């Protein structure tokens, strides 16, 4: 079974975020980029599915600018068989992104489409179920582990209050959260092999964004905290402050 994995290039989670001069985007100078962490889990899940079945290819797909090719190369080095760069300007409008992905994936021979549950830059947590809706496919979100069966995939989901096991008929869309999958490192051999793997580029069919950023700002500083004291003797004062000052107890 072929699997498509949607990945997004995002600033490293360690990176300091500064608002750019335009006031609506970040200052990208000196920013290091990575494949969004959940997307690495999704890629690992996809590779394990095809390896487990001993059949099928993994295609990584991204909507992004020319720089996003680097993330696709990373995915090829990890083991994806081919990659597709849909060139276009990514915005916070996840529906626009989902439409560009749907245009590409509607015709692709990939019964299973995997995404991260949430991208580490816009934190929208929406492209997966939107893509599924556009493709009229069933979808399971926040899946920690999946098993490919005959005509379906069995998904283990984290929900509030417990764990749910859902069988989704193929073709379907699944978003992956942290759980069973430990993303593999690219080996030197993998990095060399990635250079010879196909990486297609075409313009993304990306509609205009209808969610507009008016302003990007640093988080409001928290009121300065204080060290109540040292060791056990500070505990009564801490609890008093929590009740009387913070109203939290």
Partner 1 sequence: MESGAGVVAAFVEQRDGSVRATAHEVVGAAAELARQIGGEAHGLAAGGPGFGAACASLGARGAEVIRVAEGAELAQYQSEGYARIVADMIAGGGYRAVLFPASALGADLAPRVAALLDVPLASDATGLEVVDGGLVVTRPVYGGKAFARVTFDASPAVVSLRPHVFPPGTHAAAGRVEAFTPAGGAPPAGRVVEFRAASGGSVDVAEAEIVVSGGRGMRGPENWGVIEDVRDALGPTAALGASRAVVDAGWRPHAEQVGQTGKTIAPKLYFALAISGAIQHLAGMRTARTIVAVNKDADAPIFNVADYGIVGDVFEVGPALAEEIRRLKSESGG
Ligand X SMILES: Nc1ncnc2c1ncn2[C@@H]1O[C@H](COP(=O)(O)O)[C@@H](O)[C@H]1O
Binding test (CB under 8 A) with partner 1, winner from 21, 107, 150, 230? 230
**CA dihedral over 23, 25, 27, 29, signed as positive or negative:** negative
- Alpha-carbon span 219 to 79, nearest angstrom: 38
- The smaller minimum CB distance to ligand X, of residues 73 and 118, is found at 118
* Cα–Cα dist 158/6, whole Å: 21
Binding residues vs ligand X (CB under 6 A): 6-8, 36, 38-39, 42, 61-64, 90, 94, 97, 115-116, 118-119, 122-128
User: Is the alpha carbon torsion for 27, 28, 32, 38 positive or negative?
Assistant: positive
138 binds ligand FAD (CB under 6 A): no
Print the binding letters for residues 10-29 with partner 1: x by CB under 8 A, - otherwise. -x-xx-xx-x------x---
Closer residue to ligand X, CB minimum distance, 98 or 168: 98
Among 13, 28, 163, 187, which residue sits at the site for ligand FAD (rule: CB under 6 A)? Answer: 13
Using alpha carbons, list the distances in angstroms from residue 73 to 42, 80, 101, 144, 197: 16, 9, 19, 25, 9
Cβ-based neighbour number of residue 71 at 10 Å: 23
Of positions 11, 19, 37, 213, contacts ligand FAD by CB under 6 A: 37
Give the footprint of ligand FAD on this chain (CB under 6 A).
Answer: 13, 37
């Amino acid at each position: 079974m072929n699997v498509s994995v949607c990945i997004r290039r995002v600033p490293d989670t360690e990176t300091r975020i500064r608002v750019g001069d335009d006031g609506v985007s970040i200052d990208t100078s000196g920013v290091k980029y990575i494949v969004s962490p959940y997307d690495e889990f999704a890629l690992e899940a996809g590779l394990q599915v095809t390896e487990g079945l001993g059949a099928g290819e993994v295609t990584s797909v991204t909507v992004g600018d020319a720089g996003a090719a680097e993330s696709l190369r990373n995915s090829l080095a990890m083991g994806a068989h081919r990659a597709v760069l849909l060139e276009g300007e990514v915005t916070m409008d996840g529906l626009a992104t989902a439409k560009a992905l749907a245009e590409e994936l509607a015709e692709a021979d990939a019964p299973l489409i995997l995404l991260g549950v949430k991208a580490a830059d816009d934190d929208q947590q929406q492209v997966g179920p939107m893509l599924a809706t556009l493709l009229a496919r069933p979808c399971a979100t926040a899946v920690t582990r999946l098993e490919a069966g005959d005509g379906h995939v069995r998904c283990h989901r984290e929900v509030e209050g417990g764990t749910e096991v859902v069988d989704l008929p193929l073709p379907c869309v699944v978003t992956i959260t942290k759980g069973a999958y430990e993303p593999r490192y690219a080996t030197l051999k993998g990095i060399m092999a990635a250079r010879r793997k196909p990486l297609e580029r075409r313009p993304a069919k990306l509609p205009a964004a209808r969610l507009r950023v008016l302003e990007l700002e640093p988080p409001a500083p928290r009121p300065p905290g204080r060290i109540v004291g040292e060791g056990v003797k500070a505990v009564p004062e801490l609890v008093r402050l929590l009740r009387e000052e913070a109203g939290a107890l």
